[in-house]
Copies of this chain bind each other. A is one copy, B any other.
Amino acid sequence: MIWNTNLRWRLPVVCLLLEVALIALFGVFVRYDVDADPHWVEEKVIRNLSTDMENEFYYRYPSFQDVHVMIFVGFGFLMTFLQRYGYSSVGFNFLLAAFGIQWALLMQGWLHSFDGRYILVNVENLINADFCVGSVCVAFGAVLGKVSPVQLLIMTLFQVTLFSMNEYILLNLLEVKDSGGSMTIHAFGAYFGLTVAWILYRPNLHHSKERESSTYHSDLFAMIGTLFLWMYWPSFNSAISNHGDAQHRAAINTYCSLAACVLTSVALSSALHGKGKLDMVHIQNATLAGGVGLGTVAELMILPFGSLIVGFICGIVSTLGFVYLTPFLESRLRIQDTCGVHNLHGIPGIIGGIAGAVTASIANIDLYGEEGLAYAFGIERSKLNWSPNMQGRFQAAGLFVSLATALVGGIIVGVILRLPFWGQAPDENCFEDAVYWEIPKEPKSTACIEDSSLKPQEP
C-alpha cells in the first residue's frame, strides 16, 4: 500500500471546497431568528415584553460559552495525553469542530429551525451545533492518532448528517427527552467512532505502541481538558433545558453526579492496581462518566440522591472498562479505542439512556405537580394519550435507534475512510505529530540559561 501523507493539495482543496459550499448554503438559507434580528424591537411590542432580558440570549448565552469551552479546550486538551500527538489532538479537534459547527447549523437548521424559506438561528442553534460536534469529538477519540485530517473532515461531514437525522427521529418523532445527550451525543458518538475504528483496524499498530502512552507533562495538559469538561458539564446538561426550574435542576443534578463519580473512579483506580496506585487515565476519563450518565435524566426529577447513584455507578463501570474492557476490545474484537471512549461515553451513555427511561416511566403528579408535569414533558402540545410508562418505552426505543444508527452509519463511513488516498499514515507512524505538522527542533540543551551565559553587563 502506498502511504502518501503529503496533504499539500488534498487538505487545502477539501477545506476550501467545504467552506465555499457552506458560504453558498448559508447565503441561501441562514437568517437571524427574531431574537437576534433588529425587528426584535417590534417583537417586544407584539409579545408585550417590557425588557430585553427576555431575549433568549440572556437565558442561554452563559451556558453556551461553557459548552463552547468544553468542545474546544475540553475535548481538545483531554486528548493531548499522548506524548507526541498534542498538536494533532488540539489542532485537528479545532479543525473538525470549526467545520462541524457550520455544517451542523445547516443540518439541524433544516430539521428543527426551518420556517419554510430560511433557517432562523439564535443562541440555541449555536449550542445545538456545539452538541452535535461534541459527538464527533467523541468519535475522534476512538480513532485518535490513526487518521488524517482529511479523513476527519469527511467523517465530520457524514457524522453531523447522521447525528442530525438521528436527533430528529428521537426528539421530534419519538418525542424523547435527552437534553444532555446521553443517547444522541455520547452513545451515538461512541459507537459510531468505535465502529469506524473497527473498520479501520490496523494490524501492525504495535509498531507505534511506544508513542501510545503519556509523558509527565502531557498528562498535565490532559488534566486541563478533564477539568474544564468536568466543571462545565452542569452547563452542558442544562444548556437547552426549559427556562427556569428545568435548567436549574439539570445543573444541580449534574453537579452531584460528577462529584460522586470522582470518588468511585479514584476508589476503583486504586483498588485495581497492584500497589494501590492511581492511574492518570482513570482520573482523566472515568471521573467524567457521571456527566455522561446524567445526560438524559438531568432535567427530570431524579432527585439529588438519584444523581449521586448514577454517578457512583458510572465511575465504577467506567474504571472497570478501562482496566478490563479496552484490552478485550482490542485483542478480541479488533477495536482499537485510543482514548477509551467506550468506557467514558459508550457505556455511561447507555446507562444514561436507561436511567432516562426508568425516571420518565415513574414520573407522576406528586413529584412534578400537574402543571409541572405538563411543562416538563411538553404534554399540552400534542400528546393526549401520554403516560409516563409510554414515555419510558419511547425513551428506551430512542436508545436503540441511536445505537443502530451509529452502527450502520459507522460501517458506511468506515468503508469510505478505508479508501487509500486520504493521506493516512502507515501503522508505524501513528500517534506522531511529525507526519502532519512542522515540528520545532528541540533546543540543544533544556538546561536553564544561567546568568553566566548572559552577556556580561558593563557596570
Question: Could you write out 16 A-B pairs with CB less than 8 Å apart?
Answer: A3-B458, A6-B276, A8-B274, A12-B271, A32-B249, A35-B248, A39-B372, A41-B371, A55-B244, A94-B287, A98-B262, A105-B256, A123-B252, A149-B266, A216-B439, A280-B438
Q: Write the A294-320 contact mask toward B (1 if CB under 8 angstroms, else 0).
A: 000000010111001100100000000
Residue on B nearest A369 in the bound complex, by CB: B39
**Chain B min CB distance to A420 (Å):** 12
Q: Which residues of B contact A52 (CB under 8 A)?
A: 59, 243-244
Decide: A8 and B283 in contact? CB cutoff 8 A. no
**How far does the alpha carbon of A180 sit from the alpha carbon of B276 in the complex, in Å?**
39
- Say yes or no: is A223 at the interface (Cβ < 8 Å to chain B): yes
Residue from A263, A264, A429 with most neighbouring chain B CB atoms (10 Å): A263
Given A15-B267, A38-B375, A216-B440, does the pair A123, B248 have CB atoms closer than 8 Å? yes
Q: In the assembled complex, which residues on chain B have CB atoms less than 8 Å from the CB atom of A54?
A: 51, 53
A372–B304 touching, CB < 8 Å? no
Set of chain B residues within 8 Å of A30, measured between Cβ atoms = 303-305
Interface string of A245-273 (1 = CB under 8 A from B): 11111011001101111111011101101
What residues of chain B lie closer than 8 Å to A8, measured between beta carbons? 270-271, 273-276
Query: What's the Cα separation between A459 and B52 when bound, in Å?
Result: 62
Check A376–B38 contact: CB distance below 8 A.
Answer: yes
**CB-CB < 8 A to A121: which residues of B?**
252, 304
Q: Does A73 lie at the interface of the complex (its beta carbon under 8 Å from any beta carbon of B)?
A: yes
B53 touches A59 (CB 8 A): yes
Evaluate whether A277 and B72 lie within 8 angstroms (CB atoms) in the complex, with A65-B235, A305-B23 already known: no
Select from chain B the residue with minimum beta-carbon distance to A84.
B449
* A-B contacts besides A36-B252, A84-B443, A213-B440, 5 pairs, CB < 8 Å: A19-B260, A26-B256, A58-B58, A98-B262, A102-B256
B251 near A61: Cβ-Cβ < 8 Å: yes
- Whether A308 lies near B22 (C-beta < 8 A) is yes
Q: List A residues 406-459 near B (Cβ within 8 Å).
A: 426, 428-429, 432, 434-443, 446-451, 453-455, 457-459
Residues of B within 8 A of A276 (CB): 6-11
Q: Give Cα distance in the complex from A436 to B273, angstroms.
A: 11
| Residues B216 and A41 in contact, CB atoms below 8 Å apart | no
- Which of chain A's residues 219-249 have a Cβ closer than 8 Å to chain B? 219-221, 223-224, 227-228, 230-232, 234-235, 243-249
Q: Do A16 and B263 contact each other (CB < 8 Å), given the known contacts A37-B249, A231-B68, A275-B8? A: yes
Query: Which listed segment binds B: A85-93, A192-200, A332-340, A345-353?
Result: A85-93
Q: How far is the CA of A266 from the CA of B437 in the complex (A)?
A: 11
Residue pair B372, A42 in contact (C-beta under 8 Å): yes
Which of B18, B66, B235, B434 is the one whose CB lies under 8 Å from A451? Answer: B434
- A115: interface (CB < 8 Å): no
Q: Is A116 an interface residue (CB 8 A)?
A: no
Q: How far is the CA of A437 from the CA of B220 in the complex (A)?
A: 13
Q: Is A27 an interface residue (CB 8 A)?
A: yes
Which of A59, A248, A426, A440 has the most chain B CB atoms closer than 10 A to its own CB?
A248
Q: In angstroms, how far is the closest chain B Cβ from the Cβ of A179?
A: 14
Docked-complex contact B442 and A278, CB < 8 angstroms: no
Q: Across the interface, name the chain B residue whose C-beta is closest to A35.
A: B248
Q: Most chain-B Cβ atoms within 10 A of its Cβ — which of A6, A223, A303?
A: A223
Q: Which residues of B contact A308 (CB under 8 A)?
A: 19, 22-23, 26, 102
Asked whether, in the complex, the Cβ of A36 is within 8 Å of the Cβ of B245, the reply is yes
Do residues A228 and B442 form an inter-chain contact, with CB atoms below 8 A? no
Query: CB distance A95 to B53 under 8 Å?
Result: no
Residues of chain B lying within 8 A (CB to CB) of residue A19: 260, 263-264, 267, 308, 312
Partner of A57, one of B99, B244, B260: B244
Contact A447 B440, beta carbon cutoff 8 Å: no
A405 on the B face (CB < 8 A): no
Indicate if A368 sits at the interface (CB-CB under 8 A).
Answer: yes
The smallest beta-carbon distance between A36 and chain B, in angstroms, is 4
Asked if A31 is an interface residue, CB under 8 A from chain B, the answer is: yes
Asked if A359 CB lies within 8 Å of chain B CBs, one says no
Give the residues in chain B near A94, CB-CB below 8 Å.
Answer: 227, 230, 262, 283, 287
> Within 8 Å CB of A41, what residues of B?
244-245, 369, 371-372, 375
